[in-house]
Amino acid sequence: MLLKSSKINEFRLWGLVLILVGMGVMILGTAGIVFWGQTGKIFAGIFMVIGMIALLISVGIYFWAGMLSTSAVMLICPECGRQTKILGRTDRCMYCRTILTLDVDQATEGVGESDPITASPAKPEAPSSQV
């Protein structure tokens, strides 16, 4: 459970990984110019294109995660009390990583199983004085 996170955060993580990989590949490609001279330019060009493709894919993933985030159901996490977003039937809290669900069949604890909420008895009103 330590490495699990919400679905939206997983999409953002993969976008960030692709950004770092794309930039790393581009930097590695430019090192070819330093070490191999004229032949390194072709090497650098190929790696620049591969890195740019990885960066464009990461932009697409970030865009997709943003679009999913706008249509996600927002709810209050019962564990940490923060407002979080949930995608699909089950997801994890973005903050405390508690498993959340909107599906009654998959819920382990429901309203019927928890202790009933007892209301405090109403206090009698003070008698009104008439003048």
Question: What are the pLDDT digits (tens) for 4-21?
Answer: 778 888 888 999 999 999
Q: Are strands 73-76 and 83-86 parallel, antiparallel or unpaired?
A: antiparallel
CB atoms within 10 A of CB 66: 13
Summarize pLDDT for 40-54 with one digit per residue, the tens: 889 899 999 999 999
- Asked if residues 40 and 33 have their Cβ atoms less than 8 Å apart, the reply is yes
Structure tokens at 129: 């004085």
How many whole angstroms separate alpha carbon 58 and alpha carbon 72?
Answer: 21
Q: Report pTM.
A: 0.68
Distant-in-sequence, close-in-space partners of 74: CB < 8 Å, separation ≥ 6: 83, 84, 85, 86
